[in-house]
A = this chain, B = another copy of it.
Amino acid sequence: MIIELNHSIQQAEAEQLAIDTKAFHIVYENAHYLITGSGVKELPENVKDKAVNHWVFANDLQLASSKFLPKKRTVQFGNVTIGGDTKNTIIIGGPCSVESEEQIRTSSTFISGLGLKVLRGGCYKPRTSPYSFQGLGLEGLKLLAKMRDEFGLTVITEVRDATHIQEIIEYSDVIQVGAKAMYDQGILRACAKTQKPVLIKRGFGTTLQEFVQAAEFVLAGGNPNVILCERGIRTFETGTRFTLDLCGVAWLKQHTNLPIILDPSHAMGYAYGVADLARACVAMGIDGLLIETHPDPSVAKSDASQQLNHAEFETLIQSLRPVASSVGYSIV
């Protein structure tokens, strides 16, 4: 249950009520809210005369639910707003991994040259093998920060595990929680304590319900700036790397209030299908797109097969504008 407290109630009293009802306490648009588990169906006795509104839920999808906030939330990527009524589809481009200063500067020059605002690049790679390239770590984070300073780009990079979440929060403008880390409470609870935007990728074996509940950890902990990212689920089909779940995206648009960004590169796993899928994603009316592009995919240290080269990426972005326009959106 979500309980909106009487607006005259102050911080200290709200905190005490949260303790008394074993609830989370958040402040959202200047009002105090308590959030209990969804098993609570009737207003607790001790808040009965202190609540101005309350919402009952069938399950623990609560703060993220469109039943609570029917209108989609907004989130800032630097100066750009997505979600709400903006009808912006933001493009997040860049290489799978930060590999060197030269490589990431080439990428930054390219991305900002196209008029795009957001640069991605992995520093802590969640590889499934200990024998693969694991990323540059802190050195990579510093390179990303340097690119932000030089090019004015908003940067986003992925946290692999809780041991370096504070570094990511410090260096990255947007925190990406990867598909393999999205159940990680060490990460989610840390993300709840910052106000930086958090992009949570759906695990490839994760139900929509569980996916949104990961967002609930961040929302209930006090950070309202959460974006959901569908990037393909694991199915019996192995002709492609994963299966992009656009039915799931339709479900998320209907049932949640969170902005949605899609990642067709990881879903497909092969460059040849990325452009068609990206256009399909944009035609869904979504808040952003995450596309991997590398100066020279053939020598990339990770995900070589699915990254677009710069010419392909540029052609793709040009082709997305009329598609976005046909559904009332703008590519930003």
Interface of A with B (CB < 8 Å)?
A: 24, 35-38, 60, 62, 126, 128-132, 134, 160-164, 180-181, 183-187, 203-210, 213-214, 216-217, 220-221, 232-251, 253-254, 267-268, 272-273, 276-277, 279-285, 319, 322-323, 325-327
Which one of B38, B251, B326 lies within 8 Å of A323 (CB-CB)? B326
Q: A126-B185, A161-B161, A235-B233 are known contacts. Are A205 and B205 too (CB-CB below 8 A)?
A: yes
Which of chain B's residues have a CB closer than 8 A to the CB of A214?
128
Whether A233 pairs with B240 at a CB distance below 8 angstroms is no
Smallest CB gap from A124: residue in B: B185
Q: How far is the CB of A215 from chain B (nearest CB, A)?
A: 10
Chain B residue nearest in CB terms to A125: B185
| A209→B127 CA distance, assembly (Å) | 13
Q: Could you name 17 residue pairs across A and B whose Cβ atoms are closer than 8 Å?
A: A35-B131, A60-B131, A62-B131, A160-B186, A162-B184, A205-B234, A207-B238, A236-B236, A242-B247, A243-B243, A247-B273, A253-B273, A254-B273, A276-B284, A279-B283, A283-B323, A322-B326
| Contact B268 A247, beta carbon cutoff 8 Å | yes
Inter-subunit contact A183/B246 (CB<8 Å): no
Give, as a whole number of angstroms, the nearest-CB distance from A149 to chain B: 29
When the two chains form the complex, which single residue of B209, B232, B248, B326 contacts A247, counting CB atoms closer than 8 Å?
B232
Closest to A187 in B: B161
Cross-chain contact A205 with B203 (CB below 8 angstroms): yes
Distance of A237 Cα from B181 Cα, bound (Å): 19
Least CB distance, A331 to chain B, in whole angstroms: 12
